[in-house]
């Protein structure tokens, strides 16, 4: 990597996923040190204290599907403030396990099942506008809501695959995962 | 039926001098209910507007006591002008006896000429000549695909083996199509005669009529017609004193549109699940129970006796029966010479949209067909001209749409139909039609972008090119043809890229 | 035995007359994806993945059900075919509920492998999330309809090879489902001999042995051809 390039502003975002993709990101281990030489991590649940998504981000790895109103608002900000948005992991790409609730066809049946049918005592639907984000009717993949630049499937994508993508993006190249045979789901 | 009974009572009175009989459909649906009065050669169609069966019977009685029925128009009724283009521009050769004969009475059909051609063919005892005549007539299949009938017959005839089968496709499943039904209910013997001639020509001993369960009247009349023909020796062993034997069996379908596709139909006759299979082998080689099989449509068979009766020259290019519906002043079943211009049919004969709105498009070929723009109304209705416009002659459904019609809506309607009727065997049709309908609904909900439109077009092509049978292959046709001729309707529904996100 | 010569992509191929185009393609070591086809079972031409272009034919032809003809010129990998195959795989993913991460066949699944092969990094079609069920009524085996792609390999192997005809296809269109017996729970179908052939040939994680966890199913579709061949030579007990 040429050192002359300006440092990239990198973000990682956690929507409706299990954070496994972020764990895999941390599995980059010592390469994280190299990454730190080329990029500032400006927003990340695992590598930054920033609470608000900043402007002028170069690369964002977005984990998770879009399950509630908070996810949706954050995703819109991410898209607006980011050059290259990576749909990061199976949940972001096709809603995956969080998306299994879509089979119940709607948020209401899900909430009823979880908070009423299966409750031991004090059965009650959660409702606290402004405090608890409202569930969307369906968990949606990221690309059905905002344009996506790079898809990185896997549950989770291995650290190697993450590295392949990041190395390319740091050099302003589009990673070619399909040729590398590295797009496997699961 | 009440009217028929009451009038029959009048006719039975001594010295009435008239006969009353039930007949099949006359054709002009929008004028119905109808009856006809025949005095000598003159036949008048009379439309019942506001009188009851008993009132009409009383009037008939009165008219008879006054003398002839030549001028008779009962109160509450209207005599249809035989010179009106809807009637005058037709050439009723296949439908000639429909509305004239009592379809439940073989002797009535015989006195109008039924089975004479079969008799002649058997007497001449020259199957090759029959096939040659059909080939030279240029007759093409009326069931949708328009395959040359003579060629199909020659292929089956040339197949080795002593056992062969014949099938009549009476599954008529296109929404808004009722041509075959008209023939079967009005003149079932024309189909039986055509089948017997075909069986003789190709060497088949046994035939099936596969008819949809939604046609109970046609089924009842066919059953009766088959029984009567067997009794009279027009079906069964040693027909008309010849060495030719041919038996017919009725099979009633269970309502799946795809069972009209010939390989699915064959599976269904065999008692299997009605799903298509890849061709080749074609039914001519491997049909019902593995035997070489000739499969033709109702109207195709009904053309055979009349072709023999008229001979090549008078038969000419032949005719096509259409069921005309939609935004027209007069709707119904018509038979016109092949090559009649669309304009003649929808404007002159059908009178265009009732409130003089301009015509926007004419849909032909049902869910496998496409929409023809008003600008192309001067196209002659023949197989090749329609194909060039991105639609097909199809089985004869013709829907006229006025300027208020949104063509995306039309495409979505037909896509919903194909989605519902997909047999589910192959992926592109089973799931492609679902996604295509979703994309069309998204457009109609004004939520789609240019990207969705591109997707719609690309997926349409994939479903067309990748599907296993004709249903999937033609399911995208309503989309592709409206995209071709009415793209503006699609563009008007698009959202700017940003707004949709 | 007469021989046909044909040209597939840029290779000349000679093969016995009566062979299928798919056999010719494979004999030339060219890879064309297939799902419904399985050596040892009758062909159905249902998945449409093996479609190829044949010069002189307007239609694309399914290699598995097309017989070779002398002088055929075949193209197996045009960009049009590539796009079509990706679309077909996307459609398959969109119509079921494929959560590979928690699937018994993860890592051993023909559908999952094909997604990689056709370069599907996401589906351009919205997933349908159908409400499908799981049949665990059989003492040894399970059927998860969420992962079934309706290739009908199980139907055919049970009918043609085992002779038990436990399986069939029920309903139509998008509502199609593999059914056991007369749409009864599998465990209630007495005709099932518990042979497990359907599980071996199932290309996905739809049919599995009970007790197999994520990543633990190992199908053996390749074994079938040997069994069928052996039987036809009467080397094996039926
Ligand atoms: C989905 C589908 C439905 C069809 N339905 C009918 C039908 O209802 N009646 C019919 O005669 N042909 C139908 N066909 C066409 C038949 O497959 C076949 O081509 C026809 O019966 C041959 O007769 P013909 O040569 O006299 O037209 C259908 C084809 C497809 C693909
Ligand atoms: S195209 Fe449709 S109807 Fe025809 S075989 Fe395929 S799924 Fe069945
Ligand atoms: S069957 Fe295959 S594609 Fe489906 S979830 Fe399992 S591994 Fe994934
Ligand atoms: S259960 Fe398996 S083998 Fe049977 S149709 Fe479904 S995917 Fe194919
Ligand atoms: S492998 Fe040929 S159609 Fe499925």
pLDDT at B71 (0 to 100): 86
pLDDT in the model for residue C229? 85
The full DSSP string for B249-317 is EEEEE-S-GGGGSHHHHHHHHTTS------SSSPTTTS-GGGS-EEEEEHHHHHHHHHHHHHHHHHHTT
Contacts of C113 (CB under 8 A, 6+ apart): none
Q: Which ligand 4 atom minimizes the distance to the CA of C167?
A: 4
The CA distance from C216 to B163, in Å, is: 53
Instruction: Please give the number of the atom of ligand 4 that sits closest to the Cα of C198.
Output: 3
Q: Nearest ligand, CA of residue C97?
A: 3
Rounded mean pLDDT of B415-423? 98
Predicted confidence band of residue B498 (pLDDT cuts 50, 70, 90): low
| CATH (domain of A61) | 3.40.50.700
**Count of structural domains within chain A:** 1
**Preceding omega of B33 cis (within 30 degrees of 0):** yes
C134-135 sheet: strands from edge to edge: C134-135, C141-144, C207-209
- Render pLDDT for B170-205 as a digit per residue (tens, 0 to 9): 999 998 899 999 999 999 999 999 999 999 999 999
Give residue limits of the domains in chain C.
3-77, 85-232
SS3 content of chain B, % helix, strand, coil (to 5): 45, 15, 40
Nearest by CB to C174, which of B258, B278, B430? B430
Q: How far is the CA of C91 from the centre of ligand 4 (A)?
A: 16
The domains of chain B, with CATH numbers, are 2-82 (no CATH), 106-313 (3.40.50.11540), 319-402 (3.10.20.600), 407-499 (1.20.1440.230)
Which residues in chain A are contacts of C85 at CB distance < 8 A?
Answer: none
Nearest atom in ligand 2 to C173's CA: 7
Q: How far is the CA of A97 from the centre of ligand 3 (A)?
A: 13
Classify domain C3-77 by CATH architecture.
Answer: Roll (3.10)
Buried b (16+ CB within 10 A) or exposed e, C87-102: bbbbbbbbbbbbbbbe
Residues of C in contact with B426 (CB under 8 A): 45-48
Q: Tell me which of C83-92, C143-152, C226-235 is least confident.
A: C226-235
pLDDT in tens, B87-145: 999 999 999 999 999 999 999 999 999 999 999 999 999 999 999 999 999 999 999 98
By the 10 Å C-beta count (0-12 exposed, 13-18 middle, 19+ buried), B16 is classed as middle
Residue among C82, C89, C91, C99 with most chain A CBs within 10 A, to mutate:
C99
CATH 3.30.70.20 fits C85-232, yes or no: yes
In whole angstroms, give the CA distance from residue A71 to residue A63. 11
- Rounded mean pLDDT of B56-80? 88
pLDDT number for residue B2:
82
At residue B49, the pLDDT reads 87
Which residues of chain B make contact with C83, given a CB cutoff of 8 A?
458, 462
d(CA A64, CA B77): 72
Which pLDDT score is estimated for A3? 53
pLDDT tens track for A147-170: 999 999 999 999 999 999 999 999
Q: Is the pLDDT of residue B228 over 60?
A: yes
pTM (predicted TM-score): 0.94
pLDDT tens column, B260-301: 999 999 999 999 999 999 999 999 999 999 999 999 999 999
Surface of B (442-501) touching A: CB under 8 A: 501
C91 and B420 within 8 Å at the Cβ level: the answer is: no
Residue C47 Cα to ligand 5 middle (Å): 5
pLDDT at residue A182 above 80? no
Nearby residues of C176 by Cβ (< 8 Å), 6 or more positions away: B424, B430, C150, C169, C170
Share of chain A above pLDDT 70, in %: 96
Residue with tokens 């073989």: B106
Contacts of C168 in chain B (CB under 8 A): 273
Nearest to C87 among B421, B424, B462 (CB): B462
User: Does the beta-carbon distance from A94 to C127 stay under 8 Å?
Assistant: yes
Name the token pair of B129: 């000549």
pLDDT in tens, A68-115: 999 999 999 999 999 999 999 999 999 999 999 999 999 999 999 999
Nearest CA in chain C to A106: C129
pLDDT category, B69, cuts 50, 70, 90? confident
Using the Cβ of C99 and the Cβ atoms of chain A, whether some distance falls under 8 Å is answered with yes
Q: How much is the pLDDT for B497?
A: 63
Q: How confident is the model at residue B68 (pLDDT cuts 50, 70, 90)?
A: confident
- Rounded to an integer, what distance in angstroms lies between the CA atom of residue C222 and that of residue C228? 11
Size of interface A-B (CB pairs under 8 A): 4
Residue C147 beta carbon below 6 angstroms from any ligand 3 atom: yes
ipTM for the complex shown: 0.95
Q: What is the 3-state secondary structure (H, E, C) of A56-93?
A: CEEEEEEECEEEEHHHHHHHHHHHHHEEEEEEECHHHH
pLDDT grade, residue B501 (50/70/90)? Answer: very low
C-alpha dihedral sign at B9, B14, B16, B19: positive
């Amino acid at each position: 990597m040429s050192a002359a390039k300006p440092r990239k502003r990198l973000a990682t975002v956690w929507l409706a996923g299990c954070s496994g993709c972020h764990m895999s990101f941390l599995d980059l281990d010592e390469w994280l040190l190299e990454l730190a030489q080329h990029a500032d991590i400006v927003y990340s649940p695992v590598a930054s204290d920033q609470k608000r998504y900043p402007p002028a981000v170069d690369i964002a790895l977005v984990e998770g599907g879009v399950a509630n109103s908070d996810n949706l608002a954050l995703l819109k900000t991410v898209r607006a403030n980011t050059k290259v948005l990576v749909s990061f992991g199976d949940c972001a790409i096709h809603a995956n396990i969080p998306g299994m609730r879509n089979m119940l066809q709607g948020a209401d049946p899900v909430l009823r099942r979880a908070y009423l049918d299966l409750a031991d005592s004090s059965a009650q639907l959660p409702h606290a506008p402004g405090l608890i984000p409202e569930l969307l009717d369906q968990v949606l993949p990221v690309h059905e809501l905002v344009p996506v630049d790079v898809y990185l499937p896997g549950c989770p994508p291995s650290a190697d695959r993450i590295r392949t993508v990041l190395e390319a993006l740091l050099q302003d190249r589009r990673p070619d995962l399909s040729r590398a045979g590295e797009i496997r789901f699961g | 039926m009440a009217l028929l009974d009451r009038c029959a009572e009048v006719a039975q009175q001594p010295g009435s001098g008239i006969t009353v009989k039930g007949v099949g459909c006359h054709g002009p649906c929008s004028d119905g209910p109808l009856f006809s009065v025949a005095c000598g050669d003159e036949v008048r169609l009379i439309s019942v507007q506001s009188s009851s069966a008993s009132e009409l019977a009383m009037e008939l009685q009165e008219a008879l006591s006054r003398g002839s029925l030549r001028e008779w128009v009962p109160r509450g009724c209207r005599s249809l002008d035989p010179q009106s283009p809807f009637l005058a521009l037709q050439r009723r050769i296949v439908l000639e006896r429909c509305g004239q004969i009592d379809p439940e009475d073989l002797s009535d059909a015989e006195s109008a000429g039924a089975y004479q051609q079969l008799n002649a063919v058997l007497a001449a005892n020259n199957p090759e000549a029959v096939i040659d005549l059909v080939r030279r007539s240029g007759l093409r299949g009326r069931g949708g695909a328009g395959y040359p009938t003579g060629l199909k017959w020659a292929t089956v005839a040339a197949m080795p083996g002593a056992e062969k089968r014949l099938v009549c496709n009476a599954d008529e499943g296109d929404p808004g199509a009722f041509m075959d039904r008209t023939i079967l209910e009005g003149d079932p013997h024309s189909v039986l005669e055509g089948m017997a001639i075909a069986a003789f020509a190709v060497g088949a001993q046994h035939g099936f009529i596969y008819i949809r369960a939604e046609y109970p009247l046609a089924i009842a009349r066919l059953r009766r017609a088959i029984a009567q023909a067997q009794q009279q020796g027009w079906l069964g062993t040693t027909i008309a004193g010849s060495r030719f034997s041919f038996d017919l069996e009725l099979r009633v379908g269970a309502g799946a549109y795809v069972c009209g596709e010939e390989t699915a139909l064959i599976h269904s006759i065999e008692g299997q699940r009605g799903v298509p299979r890849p061709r080749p082998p074609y039914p001519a080689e491997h049909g019902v129970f593995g035997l070489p099989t000739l499969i033709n449509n109702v109207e195709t068979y009904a053309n055979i006796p009349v072709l023999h009766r008229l001979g090549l020259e008078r038969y000419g290019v032949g005719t096509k029966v259409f069921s005309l519906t939609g935004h027209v002043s007069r709707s119904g079943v018509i038979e016109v010479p092949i090559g009649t211009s669309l304009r003649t049919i929808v404007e002159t004969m059908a009178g265009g949209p009732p409130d003089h709105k301009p015509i926007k498009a004419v849909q032909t070929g049902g869910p496998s067909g496409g929409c023809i723009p008003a600008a192309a109304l001067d196209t002659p209705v023949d197989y090749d001209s329609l194909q060039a416009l991105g639609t097909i002659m199809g089985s004869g459904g013709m829907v006229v749409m006025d300027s208020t019609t949104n063509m995306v809506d039309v495409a979505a309607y037909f896509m919903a139909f194909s989605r519902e009727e997909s047999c589910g065997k192959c992926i592109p049709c089973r799931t492609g039609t679902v996604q295509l309908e979703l994309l069309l609904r998204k457009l109609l909900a004004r939520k789609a972008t240019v990207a969705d439109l591109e997707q719609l077009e690309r997926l349409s092509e994939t479903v067309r090119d990748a599907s296993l049978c004709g249903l999937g292959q033609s399911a995208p046709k309503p989309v592709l043809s409206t995209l071709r001729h009415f793209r503006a309707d699609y563009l008007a529904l698009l959202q700017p890229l940003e707004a949709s996100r | 035995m007469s021989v046909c010569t044909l040209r597939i992509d840029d290779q000349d191929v000679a093969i016995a007359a009566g062979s299928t185009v798919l056999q010719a393609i494979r004999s030339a070591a060219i890879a064309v994806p297939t799902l419904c086809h399985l050596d040892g079972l009758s062909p159905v031409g249902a998945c449409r993945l093996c479609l190829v272009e044949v010069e002189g034919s307007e239609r694309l032809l399914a290699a598995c059900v097309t017989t070779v003809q002398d002088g055929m010129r075949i193209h197996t990998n045009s960009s049009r075919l590539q796009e079509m195959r990706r679309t077909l795989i996307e459609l398959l993913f969109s119509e079921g509920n494929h959560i590979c991460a928690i699937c018994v066949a993860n890592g051993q699944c023909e559908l999952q492998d094909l997604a990689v092969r056709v370069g599907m990094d996401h589906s351009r079609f919205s997933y349908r999330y159908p409400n499908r069920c799981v049949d665990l009524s059989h003492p040894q085996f399970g059927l998860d309809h969420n992962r079934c792609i309706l290739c009908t390999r199980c139907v055919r192997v049970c009918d043609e090879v085992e002779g038990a005809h436990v399986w069939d296809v029920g309903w139509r269109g998008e509502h199609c489902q593999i059914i056991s017996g007369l749409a009864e729970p599998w465990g209630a179908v007495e005709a099932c001999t518990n042979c497990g052939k359907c599980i071996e040939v199932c290309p996905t994680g739809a049919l599995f042995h009970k007790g197999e966890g994520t990543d633990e199913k190992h199908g053996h579709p390749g074994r079938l051809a040997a069994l069928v061949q052996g039987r036809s030579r009467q080397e094996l007990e039926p």
